[in-house]
Amino acid sequence: MGVEGMEEKDQHEQHEGKEEPQQHNTLQHINDRSLKAVVIGLGYVGLPMAVEMAQAGYQVHGIDIDTSKIAKLNAGQSYVIGIEDDILQSLMQTGLFTASDDYAAVAQAHVIVICVPTPLTAEHQPDISYISAAVDGMTPYLVEGSLVILESTTYPGTTEERVKQPIEAANGWRAGEQFYVCYSPERVDPGSVHYGVKNTPKIIGGSTPACLTYGKQFYGSFLNEVVPVSSTTVAETAKLFENTFRSVNIALVNELTPACEQMGVNIWEVLGAAATKPFGYMPFYPGPGIGGHCIPIDPIYLSWAASRQGSELQFIQLADTTNRQMPERVVKRAAELLEQNGVSVRGARVVLAGMAYKKDIDDLRESPALDVFRLLSAAGAEVVFTDPMVPLFRKDDGTLLQSRPATPELWTWADLVIITTDHSAFDYQEMADQAKLIFDTRNATAGCHGGNIVVLGQPVRRGKTGDTYGES
């Protein structure tokens, strides 16, 4: 063995010597719940994760650059659906959860979990600036033996390129030796009553086998199921594929919807019948567009990553185009329905029933209702909205628009009501009884009576709407 080989062997043995007590101490901290954690980013992903850790007995400190969130948390007020105020207050009173905008808390932490946003830039490219800012903010405070886990959805290679390597360069450490790095994608389903942080299987990949072992031990100590994979890039790609699968299939249904209308076929009946197949099929449904952080954005991250390697993912591009055209299709159809009722879209009074991107949540991110609102306003319509979950939203010009109460008076005021979000709190039969005309993009009025309802995906019938469009 040459001198270089001996030196490498000695160094490896020295690192192994350091690693064993660190791993032993970590396991002990997990077993006796003395481990301290920091969660960076306290949004719809980070806050539920922080609360779950704290409920398991870990001392957790949350960090967020949004001082208004910190103020609410320190006042015992939750802003995330599913996290109740009394739970938050109890954890804070016992000292299991604290929050600030100060990265110095990382110096006391054994585990740091990054849950920051990963949006798209104006050029429709991945924006990982929040990840980089989090890494820059915490790196000066990291102590040896720390485990850093990225949960933010991102393109394959981010954990290695933007988390592991910058820390190694700044501190002169090696991942798997002086510190540990994992990627474990968030799998939050906002508003779900069936799946939460604890009972949703947790994928995790490590930069090294030692990193993966640490990550599995940590998550396995308070989550029901941990799914280890061979690398951080596999974990990153798995997350993107999950939502790309959804985007592509939703686009297929959205593309089929107008064709079914013209062919005289009710797509909702088609989809209901197809869903009875007990194998090889999963139902997806049409709507006014796609929203949230996942489906509109994740496929673009995957497509961008593939393009860096010279691959063009045409399905993803076509699906994105199809889904993003849906608000325009909805507005075009709405204008046609108004005209068939003798009302011009310019000056028409339109109510959007629902602004959130999804049923029974308050999340406006990427909501297609926002685009429907903009397009109708640009066409000259007088547009208002009602949403039991969203009290107000900020328009493009910066002004705030408040939600109207969902009353019979609102329905009768409107020339057209467009159901853009199928919230459970709406009384759809009352809406059908009072509204002059309803355009239902979610099939929320199924079972309601009234000849003034037009449902996206049901056969087009010519003539004056109230007389010739079928009941839902």
| Residues annotated as part of the active site | 294
Report the Cα 72 to chain-centroid distance in Å. 22
The owner of tokens 């360069």 is 169
User: Is 405 strand, coil or helix?
Assistant: coil
**What is the spatial distance between Cα 323 and Cα 296, in angstroms, rounded to a whole number?**
8
Q: Using an 8 Å Cβ cutoff, are 303 and 317 in contact?
A: yes
**What is the spatial distance between Cα 462 and Cα 466, in angstroms, rounded to a whole number?**
11
- Return the structure tokens found at 337: 């329905």
Please report the beta strands in 236-340, taking only residues with DSSP state E, as ranges in sequence order: none
**What is the spatial distance between Cα 21 and Cα 27, in angstroms, rounded to a whole number?**
10
Contacts of 318 (CB under 8 A, 6+ apart): 251
Q: Which of 140, 211, 205 is nearest to 175 (CA)?
A: 211
Q: Which of 134, 135, 142 is nearest to 109 (CA)?
A: 142
A 10 A CB-CB count for 278 gives: 6
**What is the spatial distance between Cα 104 and Cα 244, in angstroms, rounded to a whole number?**
37
**What is the spatial distance between Cα 86 and Cα 253, in angstroms, rounded to a whole number?**
42
Q: What is the dihedral of CA 264, 329, 400, 358, to 10 degrees?
A: 60
Q: Provide the b/e sequence for 168-178 (b: ≥16 CB within 10 Å).
A: beeeebebbbb
User: Is 303 strand, coil or helix?
Assistant: helix
Segment holding 418, helix H or strand E: strand 416-419
Q: What is the dihedral of CA 47, 182, 185, 51, to 10 degrees?
A: -20
**What is the spatial distance between Cα 77 and Cα 235, in angstroms, rounded to a whole number?**
33
**What is the spatial distance between Cα 25 and Cα 42, in angstroms, rounded to a whole number?**
28
Q: Which of 157, 304, 295 is nearest to 233 (CA)?
A: 157
The owner of tokens 């007088």 is 382
**Could you tell me how many residues make up the chain?**
472
